[in-house]
Amino acid sequence: MTRRVAPVRIVAIAALLLATILPAQAHKPSDAYLTLARDGTALHGQWDVALRDLDNVLGLDGNGDGEITWGELRARQTDIDAYALAHLRVTSAGQPCPLKVDAHLVDAHTDGTYAVMKLSGTCEAAGPTLAVDYTLFADVDPQHRGLLNLVEGGASRSHVFGTDAPHQVVGGGSGSALGQFLTYVHEGIWHIWLGFDHILFLISLLLPAVLVRRSGTWQAATSFRGSFVEVAKVVTAFTAAHSITLTLAALGLVALPSRWVESAIALSVVLAALNNLVPVVANGRWIAAFAFGLLHGFGFAGALQDLGLPTQGLALSLAGFNIGVELGQLAIVAAFLPLAFRLRATSAYRRVILMGGSAVIAAVAAVWLAERAFDVPLFAALAVAR
Amino acid sequence: MTRWLVLLLVLGSPCVALCTPYVPASDDVVLERLPERTDPSLKRLRTARLQLAAEPRNLALATSLARRAIEASRENGDPRYLGQAQAALAPWWKDTNPPPGARVLRATIRQSQHDFDGALADLDALLRERPTDGQALLTRATIYTVRGRYQEALRDCRALIGRTTPLVVGTCMAGPSSLGGDADGAYRSLSALLARPGEDPGVREWALTLAGEIAARAGDAAEAEGHFRAALALDGRDAYLKGAYADFLLDAGRPLEALTLVKDDTRNDALLLRVALAERGLADRAGDFAAHRGDLAARFDAARQRGDSLHRREEARFRLALLNDAPGALALAKLNWQVQREPADLRVLVDAANAAGDKATLAAVADWERSVRAEGARASAGRT
């Protein structure tokens, strides 16, 4: 208790009516206690919120006698649930985990009685972590704190939410380090396989790798070794570049607006495909792969942000995701290169696959570019790609 | 020792009595009594909040509400009202240059949160613009005093001369002056000012409380008690005054009187601590004592869970006096000493260091006290 400052005070007239309840009730700042237990996509939990705080925003004392009874509380339970759940958002892998209240109870805490909500829900997608947005009472009492106890894999960890930290990524750090690492490797592989813009960019750069540009025309490369070296240069440059920016962005050292990043990625696909139709850069494609790879790294970081990086073992998870992206990429190359090398001498490869394929890729990417730059879904079907 | 640890483990969870949620037996069960409905000033505060909700950017409404909420938190010792005060100032809370009316209140709330650096930054900026703002000068003097920067506090108090009543200026100066090495002079000046009639009762109560504390520190028990009783007659609810007087009674070996003074204030952590300290000395209160000690442990634990460090002084005293945990008390008292340097902070630090046999801390404290006295002597030599 610090010495008071203002010498002039309101002299209160009436004494407080103190309830004769044991234990002695405390005056304390507003806290709510939230427990969430996670098992796969299933969530179970409990949320204790002080009746005084709920009364502050919803007015629970129906008959205005200064007392909240169980009957008055029961009458308002639907409102309380709606209010509370509107201020708690849980997502997994970027998809929501809608919660509902299964049962209503009460409990005594040091500073009075709390409403107890038993919660359950199912996440629409499994992910290594949970992202939690907690804004309960943020507008009426910025000193309110939400104390989350997250239980998973037999371990529990606590997190404090408040106006200075309303959004946190929780969980994922439990279990073995290897298990956590493999989870992120897996996520990285799937991200590149499902991220069509990255695949199309890579393929645009790889399509001409089994050909050689001589006197204005495409000719079949003579050796597999030469093609392999060309592919290795492109893939290595792309990998090095996006690893750099993925790491910088994931660690929060560099931040770019996602609309700008996504638009620029679409533009990179357009340019890479057009370069196959009207070659401007013929033999230095690895430089383009590096330059544009820096952009794609920011895109990967955006996806990783949706997944969330656990605070425990952050470096390991980041490395796992990056390695997963590389493995996914290598799998694409391993499938592409032998096939393309076999077909390289055919005119179908040059006309249909290289020219036709690049034209289609450029067209699709141009639609993405327009959608992302102007934020309008032109093709719902194509928009699903991201 | 182990027994206390077990007790702490059992009781140290946020829910003490009924650790399992339950469904009340009937609709008529009363779950909570709301202070707003029985205290007219809190009721007015609630009405003011509804008005502000209709026009949240109305600066006059917002500052008036924030001021009332800060008063309510002091009157009731209830930090929830500080949160409401902060909410009222939300449109200006993150401004780098908020309007002066909002800024001085933001400083006050920051001070209450022990964000003394943030509060000082606000007050410095405010006083650069308006060097004679009385509220800002008084608030900054208080923070300087809490931090042990007595000469700077005195400079701000002197700047109030002619801008407010002599008793306000004199009380502002008596605190830092008595702690900065001139307890006798500070006490004589304050007594002379108090001998004059008149003045706002709130200001008189503030001055009388301080006079009681200075006399108690000087060992003049009769004078101290007279001041504390006169202050209580003016405001029997002031939690700060009750804490100071209860400490005086505990030091005098009068636990029953201390208990009578604070027994109804168990909602307030600092006063519940005095209740438990008093009960410890009373054989027929063993049951209450054990229950209250458990309550305190649960409250300190709840505060720690939310990341609060506002209770270090009280928890250090709790650990030292009621749990016999000298090392734990010393650790908290040392952390607290980095933030606050009031006589109560010094006392719990010295007591804990003595109990734990920490000679280095005792030497550091003695050094600090010497430097404060030397600084005070230099300052008074410079002025004469």
Model pLDDT, residue B228: 98
Give the three-state DSSP class for A148: strand
Residue A88 backbone zone (phi > 0: left; psi -120 to 50: alpha; other: beta): beta
Tell me if chain B has a CB within 8 Å of the CB of A143. Answer: yes
Measured CA to CA in angstroms, residue A234 lies from A207, A266, A294 at distances of 11, 18, 13
What is d(CA B290, CA B318) in angstroms, rounded to the nearest whole number? 13
For residues A164 and B112, the answer to whether their CB atoms sit within 8 Å is no
Model pLDDT, residue B52: 94
Nearest CB to B108 within list A5, A25, A143: A5
Model pLDDT, residue B69: 94
Q: Which of B266, B306, B345 to mutate to test the interface with A (most CBs of A within 10 A)?
A: B306
For residues A174 and A199, the answer to whether their CB atoms sit within 8 Å is no
Average pLDDT, chain A: 83
Closest CA to A296 of A224, A174, A386: A386
Closest CA to B49 of A9, A141, A136: A141
Give the three-state DSSP class for B16: coil
Q: What type of residue sits at position B193?
A: L
* CA of A310 vs chain B CAs: smallest distance (Å): 21
> Which distant-in-sequence residues (6+ apart) come within 8 Å of A249 by Cβ?
A255, A256, A297, A298, A301, A302
Tell me if chain B has a CB within 8 Å of the CB of A63. Answer: no
* CA of A42 vs chain B CAs: smallest distance (Å): 22
Tell me if chain B has a CB within 8 Å of the CB of A307. Answer: no
For residues A121 and A100, the answer to whether their CB atoms sit within 8 Å is yes
Is there a contact between A9 and B78 if contact means CB atoms under 8 Å apart?
no
Model pLDDT, residue A155: 79
Tell me if chain B has a CB within 8 Å of the CB of A68. Answer: yes
What is d(CA B70, CA B75) in angstroms, rounded to the nearest whole number? 9
Residues of chain B predicted below pLDDT 50: 1-18
Is there a contact between A141 and B302 if contact means CB atoms under 8 Å apart?
no
Cα nearest neighbour of A146 on chain B: B306
Give the three-state DSSP class for B261: helix
Closest CA to A249 of A177, A322, A189, A200: A322
What is d(CA B232, CA B284) in angstroms, rounded to the nearest whole number? 28
Which residues, numbered 159 to 188 in chain A, qualify as contacts with chain B under a Cβ-Cβ cut-off of 8 Å?
160
Q: What are phi and psi of B234, to 5 degrees?
A: -85, -35
At B179-236, the pLDDT tens digits run 998 899 999 999 999 999 878 898 999 999 999 999 999 999 999 999 999 999 998 8
Q: What type of residue sits at position A73?
A: L
What is d(CA A81, CA A251) in angstroms, rounded to the nearest whole number? 36
* CA of A378 vs chain B CAs: smallest distance (Å): 39
At A65-115, the pLDDT tens digits run 889 999 999 999 999 999 999 999 999 988 899 999 999 999 988 888 999
Chain A positions in Cβ-Cβ contact with residue B77 (cut-off 8 Å): 1, 27
What is d(CA A169, CA A162) in angstroms, rounded to the nearest whole number? 14
Determine whether A327 is exposed, middle or buried from the number of CB atoms within 10 Å of its CB (0-12, 13-18, 19+). Answer: middle
Residues of chain A predicted below pLDDT 70: 1-25, 173-176, 282-283, 311-312, 377-386
* CA of A209 vs chain B CAs: smallest distance (Å): 56
* CA of A123 vs chain B CAs: smallest distance (Å): 26
Chain A positions in Cβ-Cβ contact with residue B90 (cut-off 8 Å): 139, 142
* CA of B19 vs chain A CAs: smallest distance (Å): 7
* CA of B114 vs chain A CAs: smallest distance (Å): 9
For the entire predicted model, the pTM comes to 0.75
What is d(CA B351, CA B196) in angstroms, rounded to the nearest whole number? 38
Is there a contact between B24 and A55 if contact means CB atoms under 8 Å apart?
no
In DSSP terms, which residues pair with A146 in a beta bridge?
A32, A161
Is there a contact between B138 and A19 if contact means CB atoms under 8 Å apart?
no
Across the beta sheet with A155-161, what order do the strands follow?
A99-109, A112-122, A42-50, A31-39, A145-152, A155-161
Model pLDDT, residue B30: 93
> Which distant-in-sequence residues (6+ apart) come within 8 Å of B301 by Cβ?
B8, B12, B13, B14
Rg (CA), chain A: 29
Chain B positions in Cβ-Cβ contact with residue A143 (cut-off 8 Å): 79-80, 82-83, 86, 113
Chain B positions in Cβ-Cβ contact with residue A110 (cut-off 8 Å): 14-16, 295, 298-299, 302
Model pLDDT, residue A382: 45
Chain A positions in Cβ-Cβ contact with residue B294 (cut-off 8 Å): 23
Which residues, numbered 81 to 120 in chain B, qualify as contacts with chain A under a Cβ-Cβ cut-off of 8 Å?
82-84, 86-87, 90, 93, 108, 111-114
Q: What type of residue sits at position B365?
A: V
Nearest CB to B306 within list A16, A27, A160: A160
Model pLDDT, residue A379: 58
